[in-house]
Amino acid sequence: MLSMIGLVGGLGLLIFLTMRGMNLLVAAPLCAVFLAVLSGIPLFPQLVAEGEANLVGNYMAGFSGFVASWFLMFLLGSIFGKVMEDTGAADSVSKWVVERLGMKQAVLAVVAACAILTYGGVSLFVVAFSVYPLALSLFKQADLPRRFIPGALGFGSVTFTMTSAGSPEIQNWIPIKYLNTSPYAGWEVSLIVAVFMIVFGFWWLQRMIKKAVANGERFVSRAGDPVVVERELPNPVLGLIPLLVVLVISFIYHDSLKQSALIIALLGGIVATWALNRRHLKNVWESASNGTLGALIAIANTAAVVGFGSVAKVSDAFTSAVEAFTHIPGSPLIGAAIAISVIAGMTGSASGGQSIALPLIAPGYLDAGVNPEALHRVVAISSGALDSLPHNGYVVTTIRGICGESHKDAYAAVGALTVIVPVIGVIIAIVLFSLGVGI
């Protein structure tokens, strides 16, 4: 009983502290201590025999293990995004989308710009930083409430693009290691689910904004608002080519190199961006250095909550929960979806949730004859649902750090679009796979 209180209470405390603005690198270890004390987990490795569970050992094993496995992907993804940003390639693509859709479709333009950049392999954090000034300008000109900008950015970045078949984002690549699949696993169902998310999510976003406007909400300018700096930008085609390079290289090498293909793909994207747009980049090494710092922040925030999850998974409550999840009557895909969603929610990270849950559930499901393609797609989509609870690193950074909003004002839209919409998408995917679609 105390272990369950520690598990649920630790997660609740982590969400509370995050919403109060505490840094994840501080909040996650504190909550891990709370969980460990109530679960009876020894605090230090010196207090147990070698190899036995303890707070410090398990937390740092989870933290360092995630960094060791995914640092190069985070690093190259961040540098690629930074080079795209500094050359103006990302802005060029975004502006091209805006010009084609027009000012009357301001919200759609923001969502589309995020989607194109994300599916092209640009880091989620970099996409938010890159598109935010344009989104702010569009919302200002359309006189729309700015508190919906985080929702628009999140909807375009972490829903139908992040977990779809073919996406170079790591949330679509982690299952490959455990299921021996490809990034295109279950693409037929993935396409149907993505279309649903686009249509339903955009309708819901528009409805929320229209309701707010009808209640008298308008755009309110603030001192220090960033502006879109007018500068010479590369041709949009030269901005799109590096995104295509990432997708093509990952497609060519995914069978032979699995998740390591993403390293080559992102490196190819960096080289292509620099080669095609180098006259717009003043200092390539400074850009790479800034990208490195961005990668360190992003992976540290994710690893911090993975560390919390690594402590959680040695608690009695966690073991009981996973046992219950993996033995839910009916389709094994339902159990997998629930397990991944809940663990991703606990860790506040889609990639962290997959890294913790898949080693535990994949062998048993595969031995039971579950189709690995279907399992891959259900795992990917479900990981992008409850991961977007308030303590998620991307959510915190986008709402507070980039957009300057509060969780109180902005999270309702973010939660609706990045939690509820993907949950419905998971349900649709499970139904379709159960009917034999794409298998």
Query: In this predicted model, what pLDDT tens digit does every residue of 350-365 receive, in sequence order?
Result: 877 788 778 878 888 8
Does residue 134 belong to any structural domain of this protein? Answer: yes
- What pLDDT sits at residue 226? 55
Q: Is the pLDDT of residue 140 over 90?
A: no
Q: What is the mean pLDDT of residues 82-99?
A: 77
pLDDT averaged over the chain? 83
Label residue 123 by pLDDT band (50, 70, 90).
low
Cβ 50 vs Cβ 64: under 8 Å? no
Task: For residue range 249-276, list pLDDT tens digits in order.
Answer: 877 876 677 667 778 888 888 888 888 8
The listed range with the strongest mean pLDDT (169-173, 184-188, 236-240) is 184-188
Task: Between 324 and 373, name the one with better pLDDT.
Answer: 373
DSSP conformation letters of 321-363: HHHHHTT-SS-HHHHHHHHHHHHHHHHT-HHHHHHHHHHHHHH
Does residue 381 belong to any structural domain of this protein? Answer: yes
Label residue 378 by pLDDT band (50, 70, 90).
very high
Does residue 48 belong to any structural domain of this protein? Answer: no
Helical pair 89-101 and 236-257, crossing angle rounded to 10 deg: 110
Give 3-state DSSP helix, strand, coil % of the chain, rounded to 5. 75, 0, 25
Q: Is the pLDDT of residue 223 over 60?
A: yes
pTM, rounded to two decimals: 0.75
Does residue 64 belong to any structural domain of this protein? Answer: yes
Task: Specify the number of domains making up the chain.
Answer: 1
DSSP conformation letters of 379-405: HHHHHTTGGGSTT-HHHHIIIIIIT--
What residues make up the domain containing 280?
2-43+54-220+231-434
Q: Is the pLDDT of residue 117 over 80?
A: no
Does residue 439 belong to any structural domain of this protein? Answer: no
- What pLDDT sits at residue 388? 87
- What pLDDT sits at residue 426? 95
- What pLDDT sits at residue 155? 95
Does residue 195 belong to any structural domain of this protein? Answer: yes
Helical pair 284-312 and 2-19, crossing angle rounded to 10 deg: 150
Q: What is the mean pLDDT of residues 374-394?
A: 88
Task: For residue range 189-198, list pLDDT tens digits in order.
Answer: 999 999 999 9
Q: Is the pLDDT of residue 188 over 60?
A: yes
Q: Is the pLDDT of residue 170 over 90?
A: no
Does residue 237 belong to any structural domain of this protein? Answer: yes
Cβ 233 vs Cβ 276: under 8 Å? no
